[in-house]
């Protein structure tokens, strides 16, 4: 298409293309070009170019097919088979995604069941390694039935399973979760913690009386006379304290003075 050149001012409209004559206005002896509407053909050109490119690509494929010995019918069948394959691939992808979701859901169910089994085993391990050992330590320390009910939760709460070099070991811990140490600097055992409970006068009634001096007899807890308990100092051993508390109760024990009052001079 030939280019069109329009002058802004002409003496005559004879040389102006018919489509643009109306855009000129006569001013005196000349004609002045006013505004003209020009269609933006960039989009049309782009679309036309795309169609031309597709057409050229199709022609190139057809030429290649002919050079390879294909007839036009065979070529069309080949093109149709490609479209069918794309559709089949999309369908397979959809089926795979469905199967993949089904597999993920099944795996989640299996993992949840495995987690539940691990939790059950951990609970059993906790019971075996902590609860049973705490109970055993209290029994060995001489806790009575009431004492077991009272102190077992306390001792269990003070025990924690820790990993030491790949070995799970129950350890006595403090309120911050740190392993407690005994007087020798070694980790405190549950037996030592049970003995600590036993030596604490607050828990005296939780243990069986063993008698003074290990004879199995309880101290004379009468209100007077030779051997009567008048002060805490009269209870020489932990066994004496436990027996007194077991017989009279912890409140009466706490009411005892620590030592005899100084004799008046």
Domain-by-domain residue ranges, the chain?
97-203, 209-259
* Cα–Cα dist 219/74, whole Å: 115
Sequential pLDDT tens for the chain (265 residues): 566 677 778 888 888 888 888 888 888 888 887 777 666 666 667 777 888 888 888 778 777 777 777 777 777 787 788 778 777 777 777 777 777 777 788 888 888 887 777 766 566 566 667 888 888 889 999 999 888 889 999 999 988 888 888 888 889 999 888 999 988 899 999 999 999 999 898 898 899 876 433 333 344 444 433 458 888 888 877 567 656 765 775 567 677 888 776 644 4
Tell whether pTM > 0.85.
no
Phi-psi label, residue 28: left if phi above 0, alpha if psi -120 to 50, beta otherwise: left
The alpha carbons of the chain give a radius of gyration, in whole angstroms, of 51
Distances (CA, A) of 124 to 37, 120, 135: 89, 6, 15
Beta carbons within 10 angstroms of residue 35's beta carbon: 6
């Amino acid at each position: 298409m030939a280019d069109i050149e329009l002058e802004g001012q002409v003496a005559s409209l004879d040389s102006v293309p018919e489509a643009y004559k109306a855009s000129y206005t006569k001013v005196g002896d000349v004609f002045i070009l006013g505004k003209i509407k020009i269609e933006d053909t960039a989009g049309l050109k782009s679309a036309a170019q795309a169609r031309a490119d597709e057409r050229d690509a199709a022609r190139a494929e057809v030429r290649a097919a002919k050079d390879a010995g294909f007839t036009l019918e065979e070529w069309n069948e080949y093109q149709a088979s490609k479209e069918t394959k794309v559709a089949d691939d999309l369908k397979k992808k959809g089926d795979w995604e469905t199967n993949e979701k089904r597999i993920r859901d099944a795996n989640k169910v299996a993992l949840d069941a495995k987690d539940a089994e691990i939790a059950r085993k951990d609970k059993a391990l906790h019971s075996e390694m902590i609860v049973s050992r705490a109970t055993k330590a209290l029994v060995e320390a001489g806790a009575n039935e009431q004492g077991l009910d009272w102190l077992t939760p306390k001792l269990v709460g003070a025990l924690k399973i820790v990993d030491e070099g790949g070995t799970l070991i129950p350890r006595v811990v403090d309120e911050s979760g740190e392993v407690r140490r005994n007087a020798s600097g070694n980790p405190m055992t549950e037996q030592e913690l049970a003995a600590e409970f036993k030596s604490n006068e607050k828990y005296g009634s939780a243990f069986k009386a063993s008698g003074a001096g290990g004879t199995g007899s309880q101290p004379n807890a009468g209100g007077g006379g030779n051997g009567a308990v008048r002060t805490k100092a009269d209870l020489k051993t932990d066994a004496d304290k436990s027996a007194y508390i077991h017989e009279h109760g912890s409140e009466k024990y706490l009411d005892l003075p620590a030592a005899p009052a100084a004799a008046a001079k």
